[in-house]
Amino acid sequence: MAATFTDLILRVVFAKILSVFFGTTGIWLAWPLGWTVAMGISVMFYHYGAWNKKMSRSHFGHPMKGTV
């Protein structure tokens, strides 16, 4: 859900900026540009996210811990 809002905000900002320079073509260019930047941000959060460190320590550190 956060990625959707990020994408929406980026598209609006890019459309506002690019429409000044390119007119209505700038609005159309804002869509793929917003998608690309939002994807890059999502990949960074996925790769460097704190959830990844917590998950790898708790689940993968001791796979048989607590078993008989």
- Can you tell me which residue has the tokens 């260019």? 29
- 28 found inside a domain: yes
Q: Which residue has the higher pLDDT, 13 or 46?
A: 13
**61 found inside a domain:** no
In-domain check, residue 63:
no
26 in Cβ contact with 15 (< 8 Å) = yes
In a domain, 64, yes or no: no
Domain count, the chain: 1
**Interaxial angle between packed helices 50-60 and 24-48, expressed in degrees from 0 to 180 and rounded to the nearest 10:** 30
Instruction: Specify if 60 maps to a domain.
Output: no
Structural domain boundaries, residue 21: 2-55
The pTM of this model reads: 0.65
Distance CA 17, CA 27 (A): 9
Question: pLDDT tens digits for 12-33?
Answer: 999 999 999 999 999 999 999 9
The count of other CB atoms within 10 Å of the CB of residue 60 is: 8
> 38, 7 in Cβ contact below 8 A?
yes
